[in-house]
């Protein structure tokens, strides 16, 4: 006979674990999980349409320039700038989405409790944008350098949330103030090198992962912690105004208690494609 007590205990602990996850973090997990499930059910695997592809982004701006200067915009297909954001919510396999979401839960929960839900959402959007800019610049420089052009990066199709996760690792490590971090419980490394060590470890242990995507996540994380994005970050009043707005309360009223919505005041403010790479 099945052990009813054990099954009930597991369900209770799982429910308590899920209820403890703040709103935005749980929302990202749900969105990424549902998108993967829908792709699986309908057999969608054309990730080259939604991945971050430097060549497609460059062509977008070339098309925009052509629209502006030639007046033949109607003959040019829509641009692909949406890839900057769709690429982070699509995943290529069950292990891919599972690993990323399991890594997001502790990282996202900690940062959401520090920043608040709205500020973390803004930060994720900012990091996705800066990751894409770094990725595009590095790919262009490597592809067009006069010494040894390497055009593969321009056609590398990257998907997954892990670029944002690497940014979060850098930010959370900086906010925690710790001097060292443990790598899978095996050995300790200086905190400032922790993200780089993980970058190397994942590159060695896993195949088909985006080295450049992860590296750009680290660069964005350091740019954020060094204050280089401060001019793009609104003041506390911006987040407070959104969090106290009546429409937000109306939308989430039935879910705030369950999903642990964190406001800023609660937080502690101290194919022509070479490959599809999992980020």
- Catalytic, out of 91, 96, 135, 214: 214
**Cβ–Cβ under 8 Å, residues 117 and 21:** no
DSSP-H helix ranges across the chain: 4-19, 23-42, 54-70, 83-86, 94-115, 117-144, 162-176, 194-205, 211-225, 236-243, 246-252, 256-259
Give the Cβ contact number of residue 114 at 10 Å. 20
- Catalytic, out of 117, 162, 210, 220: 162
Nearest to 224 by CA among 169, 271, 277: 169
Q: Establish whether 162 is a catalytic residue.
A: yes
**Cβ–Cβ under 8 Å, residues 197 and 183:** yes
**CA 58 → CA 64, 80, 135, distances in Å?**
10, 9, 12
Nearest to 87 by CA among 152, 151, 139, 164: 164
Length of the chain: 279
Q: Give, as one character, the DSSP assignment of residue 71.
A: S
Rounded to whole angstroms, how far apart are CA atoms 235 and 254? 28
3-class SS at 267? coil
Q: What would the 3-class secondary structure string for 84-139 be?
A: HHHCCCCCCCHHHHHHHHHHHHHHHHHHHHHHCHHHHHHHHHHHHHHHHHHHHHHH
**Cβ–Cβ under 8 Å, residues 146 and 44:** no
Q: Establish whether 152 is a catalytic residue.
A: no
Q: Which residues are catalytic?
A: 162, 214
């Amino acid at each position: 006979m099945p052990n009813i007590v054990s099954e009930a205990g597991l369900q209770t602990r799982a429910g308590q674990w899920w209820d403890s996850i703040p709103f935005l973090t749980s929302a990202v997990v749900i969105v990424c999980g549902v998108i993967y499930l829908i792709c699986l059910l309908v057999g969608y695997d054309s990730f080259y349409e939604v991945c971050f592809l430097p060549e497609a982004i460059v062509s977008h701006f070339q098309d925009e320039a052509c629209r502006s200067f030639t007046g033949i915009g109607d003959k040019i297909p829509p641009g692909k700038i949406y890839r900057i954001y769709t690429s982070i919510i699509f995943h290529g396999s069950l292990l891919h989405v599972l690993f990323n979401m399991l890594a997001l839960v502790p990282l996202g929960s900690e940062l959401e409790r520090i920043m608040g839900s709205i500020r973390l959402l803004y930060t994720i959007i900012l990091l996705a944008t800066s990751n894409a800019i770094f990725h595009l610049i590095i790919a262009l420089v490597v592809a067009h350098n006069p010494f040894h052009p390497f055009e593969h990066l321009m056609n590398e199709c990257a998907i997954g949330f892990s670029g944002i996760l690497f940014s979060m690792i850098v930010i959370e490590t900086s906010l925690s103030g710790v001097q060292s971090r443990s790598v899978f419980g095996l050995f300790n490394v200086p905190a400032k090198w922790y993200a780089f060590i993980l970058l190397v470890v994942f590159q060695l242990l896993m195949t088909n992962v985006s080295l450049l995507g992860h590296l750009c996540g680290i660069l964005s994380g350091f740019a954020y912690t060094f204050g280089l994005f401060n001019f793009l970050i609104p003041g506390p009043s911006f987040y407070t105004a959104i969090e106290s707005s009546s429409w937000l309360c109306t939308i989430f009223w039935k879910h705030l208690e369950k999903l642990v919505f964190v406001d800023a005041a609660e937080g502690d403010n101290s194919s022509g494609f070479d490959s599809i790479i999992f980020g």
